A and B are shown apart, each in its own frame.
Chain A
């Protein structure tokens, strides 16, 4: 009878180990996903910043020479990636093409100003540095107005922040579940080994000595969880890149490796720490108590 009960306990323990590893894996997968998103997010916002830039609207009475002068002085700056001169006529043509309204004939004149499109390198394109350049340009006599899409930069950042927070929340939830699973596993495993533990206590094994195999197992669980999580992350990356090939341009192998090392470390820390605490808790409960309950 004791044998049958033991067998049952052992089976429960096996399921329990498995679900613990699954739990740890999920936590690490979420953390890894968060890491991937943060890594890609930085690249993505760089990409957005490099591609938005500035429109400098020019006064109507500006001379082409002045414009070319200004364009040259902008091009000479390190942080400017490219400039493009858009004349009144070109602007009108683009607008007509886009809106389908021939407003020039309708109005009898062309109200659109000529402009300079300026694009920047990523490290320059945060809102503050754009402001400084803006004031500088406004002092120039040929410049009527400077316009740039502040909102797009901050919208990208804002959205990424929200997504990161949601994933972080999820990770925390999963972490709690994983710790509960580890706790349960240790309880079962102390229970199924209660006779052995009792024997070791009788003949003078210290708590440390009794704890060691459990903690070793926790360590191994962490490593396994991390490995599975990394495999899942690599798959996720692979499928994401297949769906959105542009992602490949954002990829950075060195950072990925750092991320995977981080995931492994987290796995070991999470399972080691919660195993340590759980074992301490359940060994303190006298094994006598476990015998009869």
Chain B
């Protein structure tokens, strides 16, 4: 077996939230975790178990109270805010439950925005954004604004935006939370393709059938990893969509 490249390495990550002067919430107690290139991981656990907290740290939106986080060879747990912004721009693609699109900008502009911060020229931006929008099958909606798109289409725009910078990891927090089951499956189909193309994906969900798409399932409980297993029964998009269509 060829040597696998480490993308994420967490060592004894602790995150405490202070509420007022006295109360401390231990959102993450001691999380150690390694994720390799081209892994497809689902993060599960009951409400309040620390999934979003872990996502925020993985996504460089927040820094841990203690512990070390190495992302693609860089120690990010001690970086300044501006450096973290840069890492978010280059290394991470986010997809969230709410689509987080700019409401007054077209799909194309939304997808191209990370390239603005990365300093690409306008023609490069348009070319790259169009290419990615094509890859999520939205080439006929390029000039539409978010309110002119369906929920599934909006999430595909968000997905395209997450992919546009060729990030090291795609982080998705409940990406299908706002979508009905058929649309959810379509989005999961897109994640499957993205994974096949060589991307590393971490997806937070509390729906078992969504988690079944991932190849590895990590369960959190009270801020600690309760289990970390290979998924023995990976759901395939082709099969799943056929089932849903048959049911109707």
**Residues of chain A whose beta carbon lies under 8 Å from any beta carbon of chain B:** 195-196, 198-199, 201-209, 286, 288
Q: Decide: A204 and B62 in contact? CB cutoff 8 A.
A: no
Q: How far is the CB of B52 from chain A (nearest CB, A)?
A: 8
- Chain B contacts of A207 at CB under 8 A? 81-82, 85
Interface string of B76-115 (1 = CB under 8 A from A): 0000011001111110001010101110000000000110
* CB neighbors of A among B206-234 (8 A): none
Question: Does B149 make an interface contact (CB < 8 A)?
Answer: no
CB-nearest residue of chain B to A291: B98
Q: How far is the CB of A46 from chain B (nearest CB, A)?
A: 56
Q: Decide: A208 and B82 in contact? CB cutoff 8 A.
A: yes
Scoring A199, A208, A288 by chain B CB atoms within 10 A of each residue's CB, the highest score goes to A199
- Chain A contacts of B96 at CB under 8 A? 202
- Chain B contacts of A203 at CB under 8 A? 88-89, 94, 113-114, 117, 161
- Chain A contacts of B81 at CB under 8 A? 206-207
Please tell me which one of the listed residues B62, B85, B87, B101 contacts residue A286 in the complex, with CB atoms under 8 A apart: B62
Q: Decide: A204 and B102 in contact? CB cutoff 8 A.
A: no
- Chain A contacts of B62 at CB under 8 A? 286
Q: Decide: B90 and A204 in contact? CB cutoff 8 A.
A: yes
In whole angstroms, what is the CA distance A196 to B99 when docked?
11
- Chain B contacts of A204 at CB under 8 A? 85-90, 114, 117-118
Scoring A196, A202, A203, A205 by chain B CB atoms within 10 A of each residue's CB, the highest score goes to A203
- Chain A contacts of B101 at CB under 8 A? 199
* CB neighbors of A among B26-73 (8 A): 56, 59, 61-62
CB-nearest residue of chain B to A210: B85
Q: Decide: A205 and B117 in contact? CB cutoff 8 A.
A: yes
Q: How far is the CB of B81 from chain A (nearest CB, A)?
A: 6
A204-B88, A206-B85, A286-B62 given; A199·B117 CB < 8 A:
no
In whole angstroms, what is the CA distance A204 to B117 when docked?
7
How many contacts A-B (CB < 8 Å)?
48
CB-nearest residue of chain B to A286: B62
In whole angstroms, what is the CA distance A292 to B59 when docked?
20
**Residues of chain B whose beta carbon lies under 8 Å from any beta carbon of chain A:** 56, 59, 61-62, 81-82, 85-90, 94, 96, 98, 100-102, 113-114, 117-118, 161
- Chain A contacts of B161 at CB under 8 A? 203
Q: Decide: A195 and B100 in contact? CB cutoff 8 A.
A: yes
- Chain A contacts of B117 at CB under 8 A? 203-206, 209
CB-nearest residue of chain B to A199: B100
In whole angstroms, what is the CA distance A201 to B86 when docked?
10
The 3 closest A-B CB pairs, nearest first, are: A204-B89, A204-B88, A203-B114
Q: Decide: A201 and B102 in contact? CB cutoff 8 A.
A: no
Q: How far is the CB of B80 from chain A (nearest CB, A)?
A: 10
Can you give 11 contacting A-B residue pairs, CB < 8 Å?
A195-B98, A198-B100, A199-B101, A202-B96, A203-B89, A204-B85, A204-B87, A205-B85, A205-B117, A208-B82, A286-B62
In whole angstroms, what is the CA distance A209 to B118 when docked?
12
A195-B100, A207-B81, A208-B82 given; A201·B89 CB < 8 A:
no
Scoring A204, A208, A288 by chain B CB atoms within 10 A of each residue's CB, the highest score goes to A204
- Chain A contacts of B98 at CB under 8 A? 195
Q: How far is the CB of A174 from chain B (nearest CB, A)?
A: 34
Q: How far is the CB of B3 from chain A (nearest CB, A)?
A: 30
In whole angstroms, what is the CA distance A286 to B114 when docked?
21
Q: How far is the CB of B181 from chain A (nearest CB, A)?
A: 24
- Chain B contacts of A201 at CB under 8 A? 61, 85, 88
Please tell me which one of the listed residues B59, B61, B86, B102 contacts residue A206 in the complex, with CB atoms under 8 A apart: B86
- Chain B contacts of A209 at CB under 8 A? 117
In whole angstroms, what is the CA distance A206 to B87 when docked?
10
Q: How far is the CB of A265 from chain B (nearest CB, A)?
A: 30
In whole angstroms, what is the CA distance A198 to B100 when docked?
8
Q: How far is the CB of B72 from chain A (nearest CB, A)?
A: 15
Q: How far is the CB of A63 from chain B (nearest CB, A)?
A: 91
In whole angstroms, what is the CA distance A206 to B89 when docked?
9
Q: Decide: A202 and B61 in contact? CB cutoff 8 A.
A: yes
- Chain A contacts of B87 at CB under 8 A? 204
- Chain B contacts of A202 at CB under 8 A? 59, 61, 88, 94, 96, 100
Q: A202-B88, A203-B89, A206-B82 are in contact. List 13 more A-B contacts (CB 8 A).
A: A198-B100, A202-B94, A202-B96, A202-B100, A203-B88, A203-B113, A203-B161, A204-B86, A204-B114, A205-B117, A206-B85, A206-B86, A288-B56
CB-nearest residue of chain A to B93: A203
